[in-house]
Structure 1
Amino acid sequence: MHFQHAPALWAAFPELVPGALHATGITPGASVAPQVAKYGAIAEARLAESPESEFPEIQAWRRTFSKMGLKPTQYRCASESLLRRFRKEKSLPSIHPLIDLCNAVSLAYATPIAVFDLAHVDGHLEVRHASGDESYLTFSGETEHPAEGEVVFADAAGRAHARRWTNRQSGLSAVRETTADVLIVAEAVHPGADAGPLMDALAAELAAVWPVAPRTALLTASDPRFTF
């Protein structure tokens, strides 16, 4: 399998700085409470100084959404949505230990992180502009078809695993109790972005919690593919 961003996406968004991680051996019974508390404290300290809307990471994603023709206060990147909820409620709901960990890291780095159950991804996963023929399964079980030109995560079968880039993930490949094999993707677009520290932190935390040996990659326009 492989993951990549399409050449047209790199051309349209040369500021993109993505990282990817593959791990096999995830189980649902792990405890990540210390990690969630650690990264939550980092986010809380940043939010005490300014709201998430003033973070350079979030402002950059808002500019990106505007460039895609989307109203950034209507369609927010995943990390902004998490930060907004965390600021108001001081915590996030527990979903699955892997999701809880990735959400906490996303809060701390103010960077969208997506997690895909590879058992439900066909062949490869590519971030690209939609043709309009892709199918997208919502968490409520409804099927949607992204508009032509919308940025989606699409697999070889033409199924969209995320809509509006970092805005909304599909229920099809969402992490569940049976999830074992995962792809984790983090994407930054702010000036000076470096996905290395985030990916290193994720890999270290996963290896500390689960019996896994994560593989990571930092992707660029000249080396855009992560094969695993």
Structure 2
Amino acid sequence: MQFSHSDAIWQTFPELRAGALHAEGIHAAADVEASIASFSAIAGARLARAPEGEFPEIQAWRRGFSRMGLRPTQYRSASEALLRRFRQEQVLPRLHPLVDLCNAISLAFAIPIAVFDTEKIAGDLEVRRATGHETYLTFGGEIEYPEPDEVIFADNEGRAHARRWTNRQSGLSAVRETTRSVLIVAEALHTSAGEDIARLVATVADALVRHWLVAPKTAMLTSISQRFEFQG
């Protein structure tokens, strides 16, 4: 399998930096609560100094959403939505140990992290503009059709696994108790994105090794090195 961004995305967002990880051997029995508490504490300390809207990582995604023709206060990046909820409620709902852990790391870095069940992806996965013919399965089981030119994560069968880039993932490839193989993607647009994404990828990889018996494969993606190949 392969994960990549289209040439058009790199041309429009040359400041994009992305990291990807693949791991097999995931299960739902891992105890990640101590790690979640540690990463949440980092986010809490930062939010005590300033609201998430003042974070450079969040501001960069807001500018990115504006460039996509979206109102950034109507459609928020996943990391902003998590930080906003965490600031208001001081806790995030528990879904699956891996998702919960990645959400906590996303809070600490203020960078969106997507986690996909690779068995639900047909062929390769690409971040690209939609044609308007792709299908998107909501968590409620409804089918939506992304707007033409909307940035989506699309597989070879034209199924959108995320809408509005980092705004909302699909229920189709969401991690569940039966998930064993995952693709994890983190993306950022701010000035120090390259350095921060590298630290985030190393952090996620270390957490995966500590909590699961896995050997994650990782990659940093730029306009020079655009593709991540792995055995899905």
Q: Do the two structures share a fold, i.e. TM-score over 0.5?
A: yes
Corresponding position of 2:184: 184
Corresponding position of 1:216: 218
Corresponding position of 2:199: 197
Corresponding position of 1:73: 73
Amino acid at match of 1:46: R
Q: Deviations over 1:98-131 (max 9, x none)?
A: 0000000000000000000001000110000001
Unaligned runs of 5+ in 1: none
Counterparts of 1:123-202 in structure 2, within 5 Å, are 123-193=123-193, 194=195, 195-202=197-204
Corresponding position of 2:14: 14
Corresponding position of 1:226: 228
Corresponding position of 1:98: 98
Q: Deviations over 1:68-127 (max 9, x none)?
A: 000000000000000000001111011000000000000000000000000100011000
**3-state SS of paired residue (2:205):** helix
Amino acid at match of 2:163: R
Task: Quote the offset at 1:187 in angstroms.
Answer: 0.2
**3-state SS of paired residue (1:146):** coil
Amino acid at match of 1:198: L
> Number of paired residues?
228
Task: Quote the offset at 1:174 in angstroms.
Answer: 0.2
Corresponding position of 1:109: 109
Identity %: 63
- How far apart in 2 are the matches of 1:207 and 1:192? 26
Task: Quote the offset at 1:223 in angstroms.
Answer: 1.0
Task: Quote the offset at 1:17 in angstroms.
Answer: 0.6
Amino acid at match of 1:63: R
Amino acid at match of 2:150: E
TM-score by length of 1: 0.99
- How far apart in 2 are the matches of 1:122 and 1:191? 34
Corresponding position of 1:39: 39
Corresponding position of 1:85: 85
Task: Quote the offset at 1:143 in angstroms.
Answer: 0.4
**Root-mean-square deviation (CA), in Å?**
0.4
- How far apart in 2 are the matches of 1:112 and 1:152? 14
Task: Quote the offset at 1:15 in angstroms.
Answer: 0.7
Corresponding position of 2:64: 64
- How far apart in 2 are the matches of 1:21 and 1:5? 15
- How far apart in 2 are the matches of 1:21 and 1:147? 29
Corresponding position of 1:121: 121
Task: Quote the offset at 1:222 in angstroms.
Answer: 1.4
Question: After the TM superposition, which parts of structure 1 deviate over 4 Å for at least 4 consecutive aligned residues?
Answer: none
Q: Deviations over 1:151-198 (max 9, x none)?
A: 000000100000000000000000001000000000010012121100
Task: Quote the offset at 1:140 in angstroms.
Answer: 0.5
- How far apart in 2 are the matches of 1:135 and 1:51? 35
- How far apart in 1 are the matches of 2:159 and 2:4? 15
Amino acid at match of 2:106: S
TM-score by length of 2: 0.98
Task: Quote the offset at 1:46 in angstroms.
Answer: 0.3
